[in-house]
Amino acid sequence: MDNPLAGRRMLVVEDEMMVLLNIEDVLADLGCVSVTAAATSARALELIEEQVFDLAMLDINLDGKTSFAVAEALAACGVPFLFSTGYSDYDLGEAWRDRPVLEKPYTDLALAAIIERLLPAARPEPVMA
Amino acid sequence: MPGRAYVSPRMAHNPKADEQERAETEVDDFRRKLGPFVVAAEKTRMAMVFTDAEAEGHPIIFANDAFLKLTGYGREEVLGNSFDEVMAAGAEPEALEELEAAFDGSTANDPVIRYRRRDGSEFWASVFVSPVCDETGAVVQHFASFANESKHRVEQASAKMLIDELNHRVKNTLSTVQSITRQALRNAADPAAIRESIESRIFALSRSHDLLSRKSWAGVGLHDLIEAAMEPFGVINGRKERFTIDGCNVRLPPKATLALGIALNELATNAVKYGAFSNEAGSIAISWTIEPSADGERLILCWHEKDGPPVSAPTRRGFGSQVMERGLAHELDGKVSLEYRPGGVVCSIDIPAPADAAGG
Q: What is the pLDDT of residue B21?
A: 66
Digit-coded pLDDT (tens) for A110-120: 999 999 999 86
For CA atoms A75, A79, A85, A89, give the dihedral sign: positive
Q: State the average pLDDT for chain B.
A: 87
Topology (CATH level 3) of domain B9-148: Beta-Lactamase (3.30.450)
CB contact under 8 A, A25 and B183: yes
Cβ contacts of A50 within 8 Å, gap of 6 or more: none
In angstroms, what separates the C-alpha of A124 from chain B's closest C-alpha? 31
Digit-coded pLDDT (tens) for B250-293: 999 998 999 999 999 999 999 999 999 999 889 999 999 999 99
How far is B123 from B150, CA to CA, in rounded Å? 5
CB contact under 8 A, B172 and A19: yes
Digit-coded pLDDT (tens) for B116-138: 999 999 999 999 999 999 899 99
Q: What is the pLDDT of residue B3?
A: 39
Assess whether pLDDT exceeds 50 at residue B5.
Answer: no
| Alpha-carbon separation of residue B316 from B312, B323, B327, B349 (angstroms) | 12, 14, 17, 21
Digit-coded pLDDT (tens) for B312-341: 888 777 888 889 888 999 999 999 999 999
Query: In percent, how much of chain A has pLDDT > 70?
Result: 91
Digit-coded pLDDT (tens) for B341-357: 999 999 999 999 998 65
Domain ranges, ordered by start, for chain A: 9-118
Assess whether pLDDT exceeds 70 at residue B235.
Answer: no
The type of residue at A89 is D
Q: State the average pLDDT for chain A.
A: 89
- Chain B interface includes A89 (CB < 8 A): yes
How far is B9 from B31, CA to CA, in rounded Å? 20
Max Cα distance, chain A (Å): 53
CB contact under 8 A, A21 and B186: no
First to last CA, chain B: 66
Assess whether pLDDT exceeds 80 at residue B240.
Answer: no
In angstroms, what separates the C-alpha of A129 from chain B's closest C-alpha? 40
Digit-coded pLDDT (tens) for B55-87: 899 999 999 999 999 999 999 999 999 999 999
Arithmetic mean of pLDDT, B149-177: 90
Assess whether pLDDT exceeds 50 at residue A83.
Answer: yes
Q: What is the pLDDT of residue B295?
A: 86
Name the DSSP class of B322. Answer: I
Q: Which residues of B touch A16 (CB under 8 A)?
A: 172, 175-176, 331
Answer whether B23's CB lies under 8 Å from B52's CB.
Answer: yes
What ipTM does the predicted assembly reach? 0.86
- Chain B interface includes A87 (CB < 8 A): yes
Residue of A13, A15, A21, A84 to mutate for B, most B C-beta atoms under 10 A: A21
Assess whether pLDDT exceeds 90 at residue B201.
Answer: yes
Upper half-sphere CA count for residue B333 (Cβ side, 13 Å): 18
Upper half-sphere CA count for residue B196 (Cβ side, 13 Å): 11
CB contact under 8 A, A39 and B169: no
Classify domain B153-359 by CATH number.
3.30.565.10
C-alpha closest to that of A104 among A5, A9, A4, A18: A18
How far is B206 from B261, CA to CA, in rounded Å? 10
Q: What is the pLDDT of residue B198?
A: 94
How far is B220 from B212, CA to CA, in rounded Å? 6
For CA atoms A111, A112, A113, A116, give the dihedral sign: positive
Q: What is the pLDDT of residue B11?
A: 44
Of B164, B186, B333, the CB nearest to A39: B333
How far is B326 from B332, CA to CA, in rounded Å? 10
Banded pLDDT at B203 (limits 50, 70, 90): very high
CB contact under 8 A, A104 and B174: yes
Q: Does residue A104 sit in helix, strand or coil?
A: coil
Q: What is the DSSP string of B129-176?
A: EEEEE-TTS-EEEEEEEEEE-HHHHHHHHHHHHHHHHHHHHHHHHHHH
Domain ranges, ordered by start, for chain B: 9-148, 153-359
Digit-coded pLDDT (tens) for B7-51: 444 444 455 556 556 656 766 776 677 677 778 888 889 999 999
Interface of A with B in 5-34 (CB under 8 A): 15-22, 25
CB contact under 8 A, B182 and A17: no
- Chain B interface includes A42 (CB < 8 A): no
- Angle separating helix axes B191-214 and B150-187, nearest 10 degrees: 150
Kindly report the number of other CB atoms within 10 A of residue A121's CB atom: 6
Q: Which residues of B touch A61 (CB under 8 A)?
A: 168
Answer whether A13's CB lies under 8 Å from A24's CB.
Answer: no
| Alpha-carbon separation of residue B263 from A68, A127, B309, B327, B331 (angstroms) | 30, 47, 22, 9, 11
The better pLDDT of the pair B234, B97 is held by B97
How far is B138 from B129, CA to CA, in rounded Å? 16
User: A10-14, B145-149, B312-316: lowest mean pLDDT where?
Assistant: B312-316
Q: What values do phi and psi take at A4, rounded to 5?
A: -65, -15
Q: What is the pLDDT of residue A89?
A: 76
Classify domain A9-118 by CATH number.
3.40.50.2300
Whole-model pTM: value is: 0.73
CB contact under 8 A, B168 and A61: yes
Banded pLDDT at B360 (limits 50, 70, 90): very low
C-alpha closest to that of B203 among B142, B159, B268, B150: B268
Cβ contacts of B79 within 8 Å, gap of 6 or more: B5, B6, B7, B8, B11, B60, B61, B62, B63
CB contact under 8 A, A39 and B259: no
The better pLDDT of the pair B10, A76 is held by A76
Cβ contacts of B212 within 8 Å, gap of 6 or more: B219, B220, B254, B257, B258
Q: What is the pLDDT of residue B242?
A: 87
Query: CA of A22: which chain B residue's CA is closest?
Result: B179
Interface of B with A in 173-192 (CB under 8 A): 174-176, 178-180, 182-183, 186
